[in-house]
């Protein structure tokens, strides 16, 4: 007999949790730096900044704060470059494909709750083949308050027609865990994602911490 699922739905953060999008971010920021005649940073440094979005990545790469007059033009140029190569090297993290297959087999809906704007989120989902399709995709454009506010979790659960308390939320940033906790959901911290070296995902308050996406299934099925 196959194990019974513990949750009515599963919600994933996108970058660093469901998908390894960092390689395409690295390509875009390196192309921008090359255009400006600046040196290319260690790719691991860029990878760690992905969870901070375009603001964090451009700020780190150019050592500029968001109020600097050069900042926004650089950010827009970066985003254009990123959109042009958005799925060149992006892929599912190891273990995610089999997890999505298991969710589909058990008729458990899954969704994406991300702080990545819808333009880029939907461009990825339209161009990257997935083993199954998300039944809800919530971006910051869809809500008034971003994660860690629970609004996006509630909206996804409403679309999935499940109670937030019966939902599992998975993410590689403290804001993902906080959003899930604030919604009353069970949470998993994805320690395989884009963490700073001094970050401790065990301190985020998640119900579980996993170092590989392949470890998630054991917390869903019993």
Cis check for the bond before 137: say yes or no (omega within 30 of 0). Answer: no
Phi, psi of 187 (to 5 degrees): -130, 150
* pLDDT of 4: 62
List pLDDT tens digits, range 172-197.
999 999 999 999 999 999 999 999 88
Report how far residue 221's alpha carbon sits from residue 105's, in angstroms, rounded to the nearest whole number.
Answer: 12
**Residue for token pair 């998300």:** 134
* pLDDT of 193: 95
Residue 3 has pLDDT above 70, yes or no: no
Tell me whether residue 63 is one of the annotated catalytic residues.
Answer: no
Catalytic residue among 15, 24, 172, 176: 15
Average pLDDT, rounded, for the chain: 95
Q: Are 18 and 178 in contact (CB under 8 A)?
A: no
Residue 222 has pLDDT above 80, yes or no: no
Domain covering 9-20+91-219, topology: Rossmann fold (3.40.50)
Residue 144 has pLDDT above 80, yes or no: yes
Tell me whether residue 200 is one of the annotated catalytic residues.
Answer: no
Q: pTM score, two decimals?
A: 0.94
Q: How confident is the model at residue 1 (pLDDT cuts 50, 70, 90)?
A: very low
DSSP the chain: -PPPBS-SEEEE-TBTTTEE-HHHHHHHHHHHHHHTT-PPPPHHHHHHHGGGHHHHHHHHHHT--TTSTTHHHHHHHHHHHHHHTTTSS-EEPTTHHHHHHHHHHTT--EEEE-SS-HHHHHHHHHHS--SS--SEEE-GGG-SS-TTSTHHHHHHHHHHT--GGGEEEEESSHHHHHHHHHHT-EEEEETTSS--TT--GGGS--SEEESSGGGSGGGTB-
Catalytic residue among 13, 24, 172, 176: 13
Q: What are the tokens at 40?
A: 């290319």
Residue 124 has pLDDT above 50, yes or no: yes
Mean pLDDT of 60-64: 93
Q: What are the tokens at 131?
A: 């083993």
């Amino acid at each position: 007999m196959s194990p019974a699922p513990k949750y009515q739905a599963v919600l994933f953060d996108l970058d660093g949790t469901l998908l390894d999008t960092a390689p395409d971010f690295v390509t875009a920021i390196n192309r921008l730096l090359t255009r400006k005649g600046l040196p290319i940073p260690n790719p691991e440094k860029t990878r760690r900044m992905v969870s901070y979005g375009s603001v964090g990545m451009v700020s780190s790469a150019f050592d500029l704060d968001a109020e600097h007059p050069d900042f926004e033009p650089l950010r827009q140029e970066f985003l254009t470059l990123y959109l042009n190569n958005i799925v060149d090297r992006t892929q599912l993290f190891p273990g995610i494909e089999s997890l999505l297959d298991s969710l589909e087999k058990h008729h458990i809906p899954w969704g994406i709750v991300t702080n990545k704007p819808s333009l880029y989120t939907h461009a990825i989902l339209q161009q990257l083949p997935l083993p199954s399709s998300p039944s809800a995709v919530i971006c910051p454009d869809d809500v008034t308050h971003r994660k860690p506010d629970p609004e996006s979790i509630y909206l996804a659960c409403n679309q999935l027609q499940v109670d937030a308390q019966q939902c599992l939320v998975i993410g590689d940033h403290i804001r993902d865990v906080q959003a899930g906790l604030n919604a009353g959901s069970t949470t998993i911290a994805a320690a395989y994602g884009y963490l700073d070296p001094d970050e401790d995902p065990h301190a985020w308050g998640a119900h579980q911490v996993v170092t590989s996406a392949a470890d998630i299934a054991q917390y869903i099925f019993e």
